[in-house]
């Protein structure tokens, strides 16, 4: 069995020590961190999502799988971030109010850091008011909102409105993402951009701050 299969199976089984051991072994074999992330950890979570949709997995299984993925991700984080050099700008990221999904948001934050952005991570369940306060405090060029639930997408719109009401909308670019989010939704709520995954999020953030 390849190390990627070991990682994949460990995440499916919710086996955090197994996922960590697989990531360590894959790195020792010389596999690129990006490959381990995409073909091992992310591929496994996609399968977890499919099993959940098929009613073969339920919330507890999803949770232990997510924990296994996060534990493998923790080992990759410093390696993925190692590419960073001059700060490209400051980005505030957070998962919107009512939403506790943070794996995708963490990946985006990690990739942004790896591309030289300074990242302030507000965590999950972040209200519009908290985003506004953080923009006033940290003065970022960009805020990045993540939502994984259709029911929490309106929190993105509420945040854009709160920025407008606070008179600071023009000071900051707004980018959004997450599985149910679309480009059309970004336009509808007056965000400056949408990206479907972590690597395109980096390209988008760079274009929003005018970095090549």
Chain positions contacting ligand B1M, by CB under 6 A: 42, 45, 48-49, 52-53, 59, 62-63, 66, 93, 98-105, 107-108, 144-146, 148-151, 175-180, 195, 197-198, 201
CA dist 49 and 54 (Å) reads 9
- What is the chain's Cα-based Rg? 17
Q: Which is nearer to ligand B1M, 31 or 103 (CB)?
A: 103
CA dist 191 and 209 (Å) reads 14
- Minimum CB separation from ligand B1M for residue 182, in Å? 11
Q: Which is nearer to ligand B1M, 53 or 170 (CB)?
A: 53
Q: Which is nearer to ligand B1M, 29 or 188 (CB)?
A: 188
Contact 211, 85 (CB under 8 A): no
Q: Which is nearer to ligand B1M, 29 or 100 (CB)?
A: 100
- Minimum CB separation from ligand B1M for residue 108, in Å? 5
- Minimum CB separation from ligand B1M for residue 17, in Å? 18
Q: In what order do the strands lie in the sheet with 89-95?
A: 117-121, 89-95, 142-146, 173-177, 193-194
- Minimum CB separation from ligand B1M for residue 103, in Å? 3
Alpha helices in 82-182 (DSSP H): 103-114, 128-138, 154-165
191 phi/psi in degrees, rounded to 5: -80, 165
CA dist 113 and 119 (Å) reads 6
Q: Which is nearer to ligand B1M, 28 or 179 (CB)?
A: 179
- Minimum CB separation from ligand B1M for residue 44, in Å? 9
């Amino acid at each position: 069995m390849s190390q990627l299969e070991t990682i994949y199976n460990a995440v499916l089984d919710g086996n955090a020590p197994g996922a960590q051991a697989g990531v360590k072994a894959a790195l020792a074999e010389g596999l690129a961190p990006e490959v381990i992330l995409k073909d091992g950890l992310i591929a496994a979570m996609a399968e977890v999502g499919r099993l959940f949709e098929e009613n073969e997995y339920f919330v507890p299984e999803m949770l232990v799988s997510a924990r296994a993925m996060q534990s493998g991700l923790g080992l990759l984080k410093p390696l993925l971030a190692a590419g960073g050099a001059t700060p490209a700008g400051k980005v505030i990221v957070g998962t919107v109010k009512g939403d506790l999904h943070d794996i995708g948001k963490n990946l985006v934050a990690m990739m942004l850091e790896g591309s030289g952005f300074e990242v302030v991570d507000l965590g999950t369940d972040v209200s519009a008011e908290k985003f506004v306060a953080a923009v006033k405090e940290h003065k970022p060029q960009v805020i990045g909102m993540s939502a994984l639930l259709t029911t929490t997408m309106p929190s993105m719109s509420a945040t854009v409105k709160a920025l407008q009401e606070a008179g600071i909308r023009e000071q900051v670019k707004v980018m959004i993402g997450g599985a149910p989010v679309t480009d059309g939704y970004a336009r509808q709520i007056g965000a400056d951009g949408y990206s479907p995954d972590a690597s395109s999020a980096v390209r988008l953030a760079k274009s929003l701050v005018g970095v090549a």
